[in-house]
Chains A and B, each alone.
Chain A
Amino acid sequence: MTLKEEKKNSIIEKSLLLFSKNGFYNTTIPDIAKAMSMSVGNMYNYFKSKEELAKFAIKYSTNILARDLREINQLQISSKDKVFLFTKKYLENVQKSPEVIEYFLRVYLSNREVFNKDCEGFLCVSEFVTEVMILLDEGAASKEFRQQDFFPAFAMIMGALGGFAFLSGEKVLDKEIVSYSDAVAQNIYRALKYDE
C-alpha cells in the first residue's frame, strides 16, 4: 500500500466513525478534517467530495466482510459450518468495530440518494455479494442447501445479520452480541437447508 492509500484508509476509518454516529448529512468535511488533524484543503487531495468519500467508505467496509467470507469459503468444511463461522465473524465485527456495520445500516441503506450514481445495484458492494453467491452456490451444488431464488436466500442471510447488528446498536440485547452467534446461525441455516 502506498503512503497515500494508507492515509486514505485512515480518513475512511475516521469518517466511518463520524458518519455512523452523526449520520451522513450531519457530518461535514471540516468535521472529518478536524478529527484527522488535517486541513480541509488537504482533505480534498484525498477525496473530491463527501459523496466520493461515502462511496469509498461503503466499499471499504463491505470489503472487510468480503475478505472474511472469502477465507471461510475457501476452507474445506461443510456449508453449514461456513454459515456458523461467518455469523460468528460478522457478530465479532459488530462488537469490535460497530461503526462498520452501523455505517452500512444507517448511512448506506438510509441515504440511497448519495449512492445512486456510480454505486448503483451491487457496484460498490460487489466483492461481498460475490462471496455470498459463492457460499450459496456451493451449498446448493452439494445439496446442503435447497434450491430457491437468489434474492430471498440472500435476504435471509443479510436480513438476519443486519437486524441483529441493529438490535445491538440499539443496546436492547441482554447479552454480549457474539454469544447469540450460534442461535442466529442456526436460524439462517434452517432457512437455507435442503429438506428431503
Chain B
Amino acid sequence: MTSRECSKPKIVWLQAITCNGNTHSLLSANANRLKLFLDSFNLIYHPSLTTELLLEELLQQNEEIDFLLVEGAITSNKDFFQISNQTTSEVLKKLVLKSKYLIAVGSCASYGGVHKKFEQNSDIFGLEEALEKKEISSLFHPIINLTGCPVHPEWIFQTLFSLKEYKKIGLDEKGRPKEIYSHLAHHGCTRNEYFEWKVEAKSFGLKEGCLFYEQGCRGPMTHSNCNRVLWNDVNTKTRAGMPCIGCTEFDFPRDNMLETKKNIGIPDQVPIGVSKRAYLSLAGVAKTFKIERLHERIIK
C-alpha cells in the first residue's frame, strides 16, 4: 500500500444475502465518477473485485475501516447462509466493531428486502434490525440506508463524498439521506402532464400516457430522485415506460407490482400528501378535459 493510499478513507464492501445487483449497479456507474471514486477512496475489500485482502485476513487484523458498506440481508441462521463458515450476522458484528460508518447498500441490507419474504426463515433482517444498540454504539454516525433495488451508483458516491467532506448527513425517519430521498420518483418524470390530465398509458413501453392508473406506477408514493439523477445518465424506468415499483420504500417488494390496486375503479392509494377527497375531486374534474395533444402518439 502506498502512503497516498493510506491517507484515503478505507472502504469495505461486505456481501450478505444478495443477488449481487448493487455491485452490478456500482460497476455500471458513469466511468468518470467511478474513477474519481476509486481515486478518492481505498476500496480494501470487495468480494467480486480483485482486492489485496481476503475476508478472513480482514477479520483477523486490527485495521480500522472508515466505511463499511453492506449489500444484502443478514441472518444468524447457519442453515440458510454462511460465509467462510460464519453466519452473515457474525461477520457483520465483527466488522462493525472496526468501522466508523455503516451503510446499507440496497433495499435488502436496509430492510431485508425480498429475502425477508422467505417464509422458511423468520430470522432475516436489514442492518438496523440485525444489530443491537450496543453493537453500533461505537459508530460515528447512525446507520445510513441507501435503499433501492438496486441502489443508484450515484447515491453511493454522493453519500460517501458527503461523509468524507462533512462527516455527517441528514437522514429521514427511515434512515435514508434526505438529500437523495426527500422528493418523489414522480418528480422529473416526463409523464407528469399525462398524470395531471389523467391520461393513461395504453401499454408498457409507450412514451405517451401515465402509468399510475393501470400499470401500478408508484412514482407519486416513492422517495427517490431517479427522474432527476438519471440511470446511466440516460433514462429511468418511468421515462422508458416501465412503472416505478417503489423499490426505495420500506414495503418493497409488494405483491402485484405492475397493477394499480383499486376499489370499485378508484385508486386505493393516492399521491403522498394529498387527501383522497381532494385527489378524487381533482381527478374527476381533470378527466372531463380531453386535450387532443395528449392523446396523440409523439412519433407516428
A residues near B (Cβ < 8 Å) are: 70, 120-123, 126-127, 129-131, 133-134, 136-141, 145, 147-151, 153
Contacts and interface: CB of A to CB of B under 8 A. Distances in A.
A133 B280 contact: yes
Contacts of A149: 264-265
A149 B263 CA distance: 9
Contacts of B280: 130, 133-134, 137
B285 A150 contact: no
A134 B276 CA distance: 8
A126 B264 contact: no
Contacts of A123: 285, 288
A133 B266 contact: yes
B300 interface: no
Given A121-B287, A123-B285, A126-B285, A136 B263 contact: yes
A134 to B, nearest CB: 6
B268 interface: yes
From B264, B265, B268, B284, residue with most partner A Cβ within 10 Å:
B264
A126 B263 contact: no
Nearest to B262: A147
B293 interface: no
Nearest to A127: B281
Contacts, number: 61
Contacts of A129: 281, 284
Given A126-B281, A127-B281, A134-B276, A140 B288 contact: no
Interface of B: 262-266, 268, 276-277, 280-281, 284-285, 287-288
A169 B281 CA distance: 30
B108 to A, nearest CB: 30
Given A145-B264, A150-B266, A153-B264, A137 B276 contact: yes
Given A121-B288, A122-B288, A140 B263 contact: yes
B295 to A, nearest CB: 16
B284 A126 contact: yes
Contacts of A70: 277
18 contacts: A70-B277, A121-B285, A122-B284, A126-B281, A126-B285, A129-B281, A130-B281, A130-B284, A131-B277, A137-B264, A137-B280, A138-B263, A140-B264, A145-B263, A147-B263, A147-B264, A149-B264, A149-B265
Nearest to A135: B264
Contacts of B276: 134, 137
B285 A122 contact: yes
